[in-house]
Structure 1
Amino acid sequence: MTTGEKIAALRKEQGMSQEALGEKLSLSRQAVSKWEADQAVPTMDNLMELSKLFGVPVDTLLRPDAELMPKAED
């Protein structure tokens, strides 16, 4: 799974639109769209914010062989 595919999957899991994710990161919807289409890669700062927002390690977002783990329920 590519970084863009993971971002899209995590965003959809949260029930969030590209526009809503962009707003949370102070970015445009187009920036999020480019990430998800693998036309651009988020900056390290944005990767860290995505990691916090989605509750996954940055490494999981970047490594193609890293599986997205379902979040544990409290």
Structure 2
Amino acid sequence: MVKLNLGEQLQRLREEKNLSREELAQEMNVSRQAVYKWENNKGYPDIENLIKLSDLYNVTLDELIKGDHSFQKKIVIDQKKNKIEDLSDPGFMIGIILVFVGYF
């Protein structure tokens, strides 16, 4: 099975739901340009939007990101930039969990 990168996965899921980029943008409360960037790997949704997307498409976070190794590396790099006191931030903890989920 060919693994899709995050952008390809997001576009495929949106099209399966018969949503336009504009409709998805409205549903997600983001710009149409943001959706375009996500689907073309010019940017990544933040963890909050990843959770919304997984709920909307009825897929797990793991299913969304597992095939995109560059996105997984970005999570690791971003986490290294954070300071230890950021452990109280729920987004930080979810990022760490996603990194570990990708390895198992």
Normalization by structure 2: what TM-score?
Answer: 0.61
Q: Secondary structure at the match of 1:27?
A: coil
Aligned residue type for 1:32: V
- Residue identity over aligned pairs, in percent, reads 40
| Aligned residues between the structures | 65
Other-structure match for 1:69: none
User: What is the alpha-carbon distance in structure 2 between the residues aligned to residue 28 and residue 20 of structure 1?
Assistant: 10
The higher radius of gyration belongs to 2
1:21 Cα shift?
0.4
Other-structure match for 1:45: 48
Runs of 4+ in 1 over 2 A off after TM superposition: none
Q: Secondary structure at the match of 1:39?
A: coil
Provide the alpha-carbon RMSD of the alignment.
1.0
Normalization by structure 1: what TM-score?
Answer: 0.85
1:14 aligns with 2:17: yes
Aligned residue type for 2:66: R
Higher helix share: 2
Match of 2:31 among 25, 28, 33: 28
**Larger RCO: Structure 1 or Structure 2 (Cα < 8 Å, ≥ 6 residues apart)?**
1
Structure 1, unmatched stretches of 5+, are 66-74
User: What is the alpha-carbon distance in structure 1 between the residues aligned to residue 64 and residue 44 of structure 2?
Assistant: 11
Structure 2, unmatched stretches of 5+, are 69-104
User: What is the alpha-carbon distance in structure 2 between the residues aligned to residue 38 and residue 14 of structure 1?
Assistant: 20
